[in-house]
Amino acid sequence: MTITTSKSSQEKKVTRFDNWWFLVIAVIALLLILIFLVPDPYQRIFVFVQNGIGTTISITGISFLLVLILGLLVALARLSKSWIIKGISTIYVEVVRGIPMMVQLIFWYFAFPSVIQSVGKWLNIQAFVDYRANPVAMAILGLTIGYAAYMSEVYRAGIQSISRGQMEAARSLGMTYIQAMRYVILPQAIRVILPPVGNEFITLLKDSSLVSVVAVADMTRRGREFQAAHFLPIQTWVMIALLYLVMTLFATRVVAWMERKFKMEK
């Protein structure tokens, strides 16, 4: 029995190759074939939109880091015993989740500056009167505010999935509430919520294309500019779709690897 148990435990530790990486390789190969074997127009399209690739990745990365932080704070606020803090955080979540992301982005870029300018005129602050929105900053702000509401629910579900006995045991050892959360509850909750957090990142990556409506030169906007200049809708959007597909498939496989690596033993 001992030998059998040790063998099975060793088999569990063996990390198998994820066959879905072949799909990622196949899409990358197709992309390279189009770029190098059909340079006109696919290579021209790629060269034209390549700076938008960096913009898309940077906006997604920065927004997601901020979403993780703000989402955790909102989740802890919703679990607070103070009805005021809990009420404010709940209103934030319900309101933000009820407004489409594109509408939120348009608000932050077009309406929010008008609010700042009106406040500046009212308080006679020239810096506010002269305020002009930065497209990238407003895009990051809009995505962060919008996705933090969803992420807070993911955090809250993960924290509440941990047995209350864990918190009681930590407090009985002399830990404060913050210490118990930091060293006992959150490390376990993060493992539980890793799959939905990964899904939120992939969704955020795809929804980053919405920032093109607020003058951000991401891949989608650069694709629209190329199409308008050269009248090649099929080739342009095939290239844009493949670029997004490569990024989302790669992110999906990385998330799957992290899920296996940090999976809680049963």
Tens digits of residue pLDDT in 133-163: 999 999 999 999 999 999 999 999 998 888 8
Rounded CA-CA distance 63/69 in Å is: 10
Residue 11 has pLDDT above 90, yes or no: no
In total, the chain counts a number of residues equal to 266
Cis before 196? omega within 30: no
For tokens 């406040």, what's the residue?
A: 119
Which phi and psi (to 5°) does residue 234 adopt? Answer: -65, -55
Under CATH, what is the fold of the domain 23-31+39-261? MetI-like fold (1.10.3720)
Ordered by start, the domain boundaries in the chain are 23-31+39-261
Which helix (H) or strand (E) segment holds residue 76: the answer is helix 44-78
Retrieve residue 206's tokens: 């795809």
The chain-wide mean pLDDT, for the chain, equals 89
pLDDT digits (tens, 9 = 90+) for 35-83: 999 888 999 999 999 999 999 999 999 999 999 999 999 999 999 889 9
